[in-house]
Amino acid sequence: MEFLIALMVGALVAAAVYLMLARNVLRFLFGLLLISNAANLLIFASGGLTPESPPLIPEGAKLPPEGVANALPQALVLTAIVIGFGLFAFALVLIYRGYQTMGTLDSDEMRLAEPEDGH
């Protein structure tokens, strides 16, 4: 199971890096979305995968039985997903505004803030 998840993280990162190398910033953004999901998956897997053992404490007991799923990485992933979603939404709007003002999505042509003559 861990092996499959690891492969999937690798595939996501590879696809993301390919997209992020494009000059088109919208493609870059999609790459960023993929790689942040790869990171979330990585955290999820690094907590250890324990199928069919939810972290529940039986009635009357103080501790959960041995070998239950680790709830902490899931809490971390949940936080990271929410933050990632907010950042992605902002970046998407920013790129749209950038396209409206500059009329291009090609990162090589975005020279407003850094003109080529250095002035």
Partner 1 sequence: MTDLLLPLPILIAFATAILTFFFRKGPEGRWVSVAGSALMLVAGGMLLAEVLANGVQAAQMGNWPAPFGITLVADTLSAIMVVITAITALAVSVYAISDVTREMEAVGYHTLFHTLIAGVMGAFLTGDLFNLYVWFEVMLISSFGLLVMGGKRVQMDAGIKYVTLNLISTVLFLSGIGLLYGVTGTLNMADLHTAVQTADAGLITVIAMMFLVGFGVKAAVFPLFFWLPAAYHTPAFAVSAVFAGLLTKVGVYALLRMFTLVFTRDVGFTHGLLLWVAVATMVTGVLGAAAQTDFRRILSFHIVSQIGYMVLGLALYTPLALTGAVFYLVHHIIVKANLFLVSGVANRIAGGTNIDRIGGLYKGAPLLAFLFLIPAFSLAGFPPLSGFWAKFVLVKASLDLELWFVAFAALAVGLMTIYSMTKIWGRAFWAPHPGGTVPSLSSLPLSERVTLLVPIAFLASLTIVIGLFPEPFVQVAARAAAELLDPTAYLAAVLGGPS
Which residues would be at the binding site for partner 1 (CB under 8 A)? 20, 25, 28-29, 32, 35-36, 38-40, 42-43, 45-48, 72-73, 76, 79-80, 83, 86-87, 90-91, 94-95, 97-98, 101-102, 107, 110-114, 118-119
CA atoms of 95 and 90, how far apart (whole Å): 9
Shortest CB 25 distance to partner 1, Å: 6
Helix, strand, coil content of the chain in percent (nearest 5)? 65, 0, 35
Shortest CB 23 distance to partner 1, Å: 12
Residue with tokens 């070998």: 67
**Considering beta carbons, is residue 11 or 83 the nearer one to partner 1?**
83
Nearest to 32 by CA among 17, 51, 53: 17
Shortest CB 54 distance to partner 1, Å: 20
Please report, to the nearest 10 degrees, the dihedral formed by the alpha carbons of residues 46, 50, 56, 57 taken in order: -90
**Considering beta carbons, is residue 15 or 46 the nearer one to partner 1?**
46
CA atoms of 95 and 9, how far apart (whole Å): 27
**Considering beta carbons, is residue 59 or 66 the nearer one to partner 1?**
66
